[in-house]
């Protein structure tokens, strides 16, 4: 009985960690893209002001 | 005024992330040669391929000889009169012989002519029986070009000829010969759409299409030639089946790819499953006897990989007469593997199960081939992980085995 | 703004899932020992069923998105397709994994090849895996979108099949828990926890899909800026 509950607790915990990790990767992908866009836009603006 | 043989009405085509063609209207009549010589990236190849019905249309329709062959709702019809086609990437399978590809192009249009004259003219006679993969780039181009122009010499009825950069990599002599041939083809009433940057073709083009405008070509210096009488003989039927058979016999590809998977499965089964265990359980027996045949089918059709070479798949698809396959070899292989499995387990051969084994390999191959062909439009079809979808067949296999057991076929 | 909404929904969903699991452990009633081989393993049910529910939402999203791209060439439809495929993969894996844990305890085997619902669900997950990995292997373009959205449309045919399969071909899987008539009814306490689970998973998966759609639109924005810079 106790063994079963441990098995269950491990399975639940594993799944929670898995969805936590997934959520974290989604957030980091989003942040990474935002930073890349910002960097590209900045370099575009710099190019523009240099041309002027 | 000759009859309009090709019309593109309001055609828009998207490729990648851009609209390559937008509401394009183009009509070409018999006896006209339209030269497309826009700059790179201007959509020349897309116009040729759209006219041959290779690309799905966003808007508009394509008509050959007045009949719609493709429209924007995806309706596609085999043209009543087959055309000649040279793709920019040759469109020929490396494991085919030179004469096979050219004769295939003729059989597709339904008539043969003597090809010796042209092989000699383009210095390919000594290469006639060589595999296309053994040729240089320029020689391969000549083969692809001949497959595109020779259909125009078959029979009396004018045909459509689509030639995408037919002179790329050709030496000067070959280009001069090609210009002459195109002149002949035009005089026979064929309608030719040709994409090229070579100025040589200004001599034979009746019109030039550039920046979405069709203009009469003033620098056309062609003279009327003496008509050469070319005798057309009947074509050989079953070009698709014959090609599949010939390629399989030459490369042994079905045996090498599907066969090896089947034999490995058989070997593992014989090593791991004791023959005494199967008598007691019929479902295990029928599943066991058919596993090798099933594994062989799961590999798919090796012909698809061959057809991806030089975009041969697009060449076959454009003609809408079928695509070469390995079904016959799969049938024999599946039946053989099933018989061997039964013998391996000291059982009498059940011919029903042997037949089922053969058909199982064919049907499994059919589905996997279908998935492979469904992804053939992708930019990188071989990188698309299509094998992830193979488990789709496991459940039907399990249910099929159950059915065999319930039907007491063993 | 959409980022905030997506993040909030996701956060509530995540907390809800944690709560459901806590309730499943501590508050859910035990079942009759005679009815189950492994009575405690049935607590997986509070994860398994809501995850399957969320997977159906994700696959529904995938289907609608695929159809919108395929028939209407809608960019929003393509973003829905991408979000649906990613969410479908994640929730599909959750369902299959939890099902396997349950199956191992209850049936003695984690997988049964003859069970139609198990296999069609597994197949849907494989389809989502194919859509996610396949799309990542290709440059974005009309050919890529057409091909994968046609597979998305095909996959959705499997959803109703999965639902009814249990009735037509039941070997091991229980019948539908909700909408399955008298036999499918649950006791009220179990039903309540299940409801909390279903709401939490729904919020969680919608939050994820909104985030995913945002990521796809950011990717498209980056691509168009880079293309504009190429032309300079």
* ipTM of this complex prediction, to 2 decimal places: 0.82
C226 pLDDT tier (thresholds 50, 70, 90): confident
A32 touches chain C (CB under 8 A): no
What pLDDT is recorded for position C65? 96
B16 touches chain C (CB under 8 A): yes
What pLDDT is recorded for position C205? 93
Which chains reach chain A with 3 or more Cβ–Cβ distances below 8 angstroms? C
Is B375's CB within 8 Å of C139's CB? no
Is C129's CB within 8 Å of B388's CB? yes
Q: What global pTM score does this model have?
A: 0.86
Contacts of C73 in chain B (CB under 8 A): 58
Residue A51 has pLDDT above 90, yes or no: no
Of C44, C214, C229, the CB nearest to A44: C229
Model confidence over C117-136: pLDDT tens digits? 777 788 889 999 999 999 99
Measured between alpha carbons, how far is residue C10 from residues A22, C14, C51, C55, C211 in Å? Answer: 12, 6, 15, 15, 9
Three-state SS string over chain B comes to CCCEEEEEEEEEEEECCEEEEEEEEEEEECCCEEEECCCCCCCHHHHHHHHCCCCCCCEEEEEECCEEEEECCCCECCCCCCCEEECCCCCCCCCCEHHHHHHHHHHHHCCECCCHHHHHHCCCHHHCCCEHHHCCHHHHHHHHHHHHHHHHHCCCCCCEEEEECCCCCCCHHHHHHHHHHHHHHHHCCCEEEEECCCHHHHHCCCEEEECCEEEECCCCCCCCCCCCCCCCECCCCCHHHHHHHHHHHHHCHHHHHHHHHHHHHHHHHHHHCCHHHCCCCHHHHHHHHHHHHHHHHHCCCHHHHHHCHHHHHHHHHHHCCCCCCCHHHHHHHHHHHHHHHHHHCCCCCCHHHHHHHHHHHHHHHHHHHHHHHHCCCCCCHHHCCHHHHHHHHHHHHHHHHHHHHHCCCC
Which residues have C-beta within 8 Å of that of residue B87, sequence separation ≥ 6? B49, B144, B164, B310, B311, B314, B315
* Chain C and chain A touch, per 3+ beta carbon pairs within 8 A: yes
Of C90, C98, C215, the CB nearest to A33: C215
Contacts of C105 in chain A (CB under 8 A): 4, 7
Strands B59-64 and B67-71: antiparallel
How much is the mean pLDDT over chain C?
A: 81
Contacts of C230 in chain B (CB under 8 A): none
What pLDDT is recorded for position A8? 77
What pLDDT is recorded for position B165? 94
C182 pLDDT tier (thresholds 50, 70, 90): very low
Give the closest residue to B149 by CA, choosing from B193, B197, B110: B193
What pLDDT is recorded for position B140? 95
Is C218's CB within 8 Å of A7's CB? no
C111 touches chain B (CB under 8 A): no
CATH of the domain at C112: 1.20.120
Phi, psi of B347 (to 5 degrees): -105, 160
Is C18's CB within 8 Å of A16's CB? yes
- What is the span of the domain harbouring residue C32? 2-231
C22 pLDDT tier (thresholds 50, 70, 90): confident
Of C119, C133, C137, the CB nearest to B380: C137
Is C142's CB within 8 Å of B14's CB? yes
Which DSSP state fits C29?
Answer: P
Of C40, C226, C228, the CB nearest to A8: C40
* Chain A and chain B touch, per 3+ beta carbon pairs within 8 A: no
A 10 A CB-CB count for C182 gives 5
How much is the mean pLDDT over chain B?
A: 90
- Collapsed DSSP state (helix, strand, coil) of residue C51: helix
Which residues have C-beta within 8 Å of that of residue B281, sequence separation ≥ 6? none
Which DSSP state fits A52?
Answer: -
C208 pLDDT tier (thresholds 50, 70, 90): very high
Please list the ranges in chain B whose pLDDT falls under 50. none
Is A40's CB within 8 Å of C222's CB? yes
Residue from A11, A21, A35, A41 whose CB has the most chain C CBs within 10 Å, to mutate: A11
Domain residue extents for chain B:
4-216, 239-406
Residue C112 has pLDDT above 90, yes or no: no
Q: Is B4-216 CATH 3.40.50.300?
A: yes
Residue C27 has pLDDT above 80, yes or no: no
Number of domains in chain C: 1
Of C122, C123, C143, the CB nearest to B377: C143
């Amino acid at each position: 009985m106790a063994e079963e509950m441990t098995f269950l607790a491990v399975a639940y915990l594993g799944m929670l960690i898995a969805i936590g990790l997934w959520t974290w990767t989604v957030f980091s992908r989003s942040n990474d893209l935002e930073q890349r866009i910002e960097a590209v836009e900045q370099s575009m603006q710099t190019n523009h002001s240099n041309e002027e | 005024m000759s009859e309009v043989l090709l019309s593109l009405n309001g055609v828009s085509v998207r490729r990648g992330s851009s609209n390559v063609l937008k509401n394009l209207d183009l009509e070409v009549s018999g006896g006209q040669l339209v030269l497309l010589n826009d700059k790179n990236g201007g959509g020349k190849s897309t116009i040729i391929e759209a006219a041959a019905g290779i690309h799905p249309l966003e808007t508009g329709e394509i008509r050959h000889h007045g009949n719609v062959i493709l429209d924007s709702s995806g309706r596609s019809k085999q043209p009543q009169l087959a055309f000649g086609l040279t793709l920019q990437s040759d469109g020929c399978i490396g494991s085919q012989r030179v004469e096979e590809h050219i004769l295939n192009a003729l059989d597709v249009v339904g008539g043969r002519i003597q090809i010796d004259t042209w092989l000699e003219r383009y210095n390919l006679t000594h290469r006639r029986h060589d595999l296309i993969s053994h040729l240089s780039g320029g020689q391969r181009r000549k083969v692809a070009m001949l497959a595109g122009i020779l259909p125009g010499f078959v029979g009396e009825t004018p045909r459509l000829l689509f030639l995408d950069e037919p002179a790329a990599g050709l030496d000067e002599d070959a280009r001069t010969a090609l210009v002459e041939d195109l002149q002949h083809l035009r005089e026979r009433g064929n309608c030719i759409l040709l994409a090229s940057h070579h100025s040589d073709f200004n001599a034979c083009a009746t019109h030039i299409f550039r920046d979405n405008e069709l203009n009469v070509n003033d620098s056309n210096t062609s003279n009327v030639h003496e008509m050469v009488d070319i005798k057309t003989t009947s074509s050989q039927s079953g070009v698709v089946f014959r090609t599949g058979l010939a390629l399989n016999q030459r490369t042994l590809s079905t045996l090498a790819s599907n066969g090896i998977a089947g034999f490995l499965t058989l070997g593992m089964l014989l090593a791991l499953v004791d023959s005494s265990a199967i008598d007691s359980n019929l479902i295990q027996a029928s599943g066991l006897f058919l596993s090798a045949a099933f594994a062989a089918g799961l590999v798919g059709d090796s012909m698809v990989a061959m057809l991806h070479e030089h975009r041969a798949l697009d060449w076959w698809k454009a003609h809408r007469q079928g695509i070469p396959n390995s079904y016959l070899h799969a049938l024999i292989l599946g039946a053989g593997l099933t018989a061997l499995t039964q013998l391996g387990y000291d059982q009498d051969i059940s011919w029903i199960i042997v037949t089922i084994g053969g058909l199982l390999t064919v049907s499994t191959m059919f589905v996997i081939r279908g998935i492979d062909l469904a992804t053939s439009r992708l930019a990188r079809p071989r990188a698309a992980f299509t094998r992830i979808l193979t488990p789709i067949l496991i459940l039907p296999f399990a249910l099929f085995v159950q059915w065999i057991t319930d039907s007491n076929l063993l | 703004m959409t980022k905030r909404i997506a993040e909030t929904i996701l956060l509530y969903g995540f907390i809800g899932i944690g709560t459901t699991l806590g309730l499943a452990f501590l508050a859910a009633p035990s079942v009759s020992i005679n009815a189950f081989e492994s009575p405690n393993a049935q607590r997986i049910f509070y994860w398994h069923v809501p995850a399957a529910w969320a997977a159906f939402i994700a696959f529904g999203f995938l289907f609608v998105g695929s159809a919108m791209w395929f028939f209407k060439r809608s960019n929003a439809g393509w973003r829905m397709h991408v979000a649906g495929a990613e969410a479908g993969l994640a929730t599909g894996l959750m369902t299959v994994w939890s099902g396997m844990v349950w199956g191992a305890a209850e049936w003695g085997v984690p997988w049964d090849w003859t069970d139609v619902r198990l296999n069609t669900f597994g197949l849907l997950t494989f389809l989502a895996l194919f859509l996610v990995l396949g799309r990542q292997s290709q440059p974005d373009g009309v050919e890529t979108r057409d091909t994968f959205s046609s597979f998305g449309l095909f996959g959705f045919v499997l959803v109703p099949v999965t639902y009814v399969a249990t009735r037509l071909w039941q070997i091991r899987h229980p019948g539908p828990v909700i909408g399955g008539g008298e036999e499918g009814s649950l006791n009220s306490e179990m039903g309540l926890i299940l409801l909390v689970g279903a709401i939490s998973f729904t919020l969680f998966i919608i939050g994820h899909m909104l985030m995913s759609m945002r990521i796809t639109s950011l990717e498209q924005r980056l691509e168009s800026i880079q293309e504009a810079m190429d032309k300079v």
